[in-house]
A = this chain, B = another copy of it.
Amino acid sequence: MLSAENRQIRLARRPEGEVRPGDWEHVTEAAAAPGEGQFAGRTRFISLDPAMRGWLDDRPSYLPPVGLGEVMRAGSVVEVTESTHPGFRTGDLVAGTFGVQEHVVSDGRGTLKIQPDTASPSTFLGALGMPGMTAYFGLLDVGALKEGETVVVSGAAGAVGTMVGQIAKAKGCRVVGIAGGAEKCALLTGELGFDAAIDYRTENVRKALRTHAPDGIDVYFDNVGGEILDAALACLAMHARVVVCGAISQYNATDGVRGPSNYLSLLVRRARMEGFVVFDYAPRFTEAAREIGGWIADGRIKVLEHVVRGTVDDFPRTLQMLFRGENTGKLVLELV
């Protein structure tokens, strides 16, 4: 394995607007050997996340930006190929932030050894990974969800959205999902058990929210920002909570983010809008994974994955799928 080649995707230039193929550099270097107390691994699954767009901009955020010339940051699952670390053995599956590359070396810090009998490895990038944790803590902790409330989630067919809706259902709430396209909407109300779905491409979202949430929205979980956020703000129940998780509609905006012009609804409805970063909840990930794992086991939560099979060279076009809304559920690149 020592002489193996390590194919990597590095950031070549900072994108303006949508990320383009030319923003990346495809590099091949020799795979490194593990030092004392380290393991080497071969990448099996790479996570694609909306947050990646933010990491590419050179501005202060909750994580430093990916540097020019650096391997693109990404969560992944690797299989251990060689180890001098007492905690990891050849064949172990490990989740971590290993980046978009074929081979990794790690001292194990900040990683999670996967028990493969609990769920398929890619689940640890989705339902049991950051998207699942994001949905769980955003909804229950930031959103302070109570049984019987009405929850609306945008980006509902995405990795976080599918989990938000299903966790809310598991908690005894009414759930309305907003997604793009009839197929996604059918999936939400069919397989995933949402009470209603709104196709923002063909429906007037504000009117549809009045229909499907006639008593107002108690918790709005926002993944998209823009016009949909404004429509939701116009339909809040008293003392509503708006959970700001992301704004995928705005990430590629080159003329500035569009602010929610209906924000004064917070005043009239005595409501709050609150942001969070999932990493802050790291000490409680085990607790969340246990509860989510239970729901997966008893069938209340369905794991929805959109797996693209390919090589690391397929990363750029797979990332584009995410911002074009071409995925349903958690988007993963499986290296074959």
Binding site for B on A (CB under 8 A): 60-62, 225, 230, 244-247, 250, 256-277, 280
Copy total for this chain? 2
- Give which listed residue, B259, B264, B269, B272, contacts A263 with CB less than 8 A: B259
Report chain B residues within 8 Å CB of A244: 263-264, 266-267
With both beta carbons as reference points, the residue of chain B lying nearest to A260 in the complex is identified as B259
With both beta carbons as reference points, the residue of chain B lying nearest to A60 in the complex is identified as B268
A to B CB contacts below 8 Å, 5 in the list: A258-B259, A266-B275, A267-B275, A272-B273, A272-B274
Report chain B residues within 8 Å CB of A250: 264
Structural contact, B259 and A270, CB atoms closer than 8 A: no
Structural contact, A274 and B275, CB atoms closer than 8 A: no
Structural contact, B230 and A259, CB atoms closer than 8 A: yes
Report chain B residues within 8 Å CB of A275: 264-272
Structural contact, B267 and A256, CB atoms closer than 8 A: no
Structural contact, B267 and A257, CB atoms closer than 8 A: no
Report chain B residues within 8 Å CB of A60: 268
Structural contact, A268 and B61, CB atoms closer than 8 A: yes
* Given A244-B266, A267-B244, A267-B245; A261-B256 close (CB under 8 Å): yes
- Give which listed residue, B61, B260, B277, contacts A270 with CB less than 8 A: B277
Structural contact, B274 and A271, CB atoms closer than 8 A: yes
Report the bound CA distance from A266 to B259 in whole Å: 12
Structural contact, A258 and B257, CB atoms closer than 8 A: no
New contact pairs (10) apart from A225-B264, A259-B260, A266-B275, CB-CB < 8 Å: A62-B268, A257-B261, A257-B263, A259-B259, A259-B261, A259-B262, A269-B275, A272-B275, A273-B273, A273-B274
Report chain B residues within 8 Å CB of A271: 274-275
- Give which listed residue, B230, B267, B268, B272, contacts A272 with CB less than 8 A: B272
Report the bound CA distance from A60 to B265 in whole Å: 10
- Give which listed residue, B230, B258, B267, B273, contacts A266 with CB less than 8 A: B273
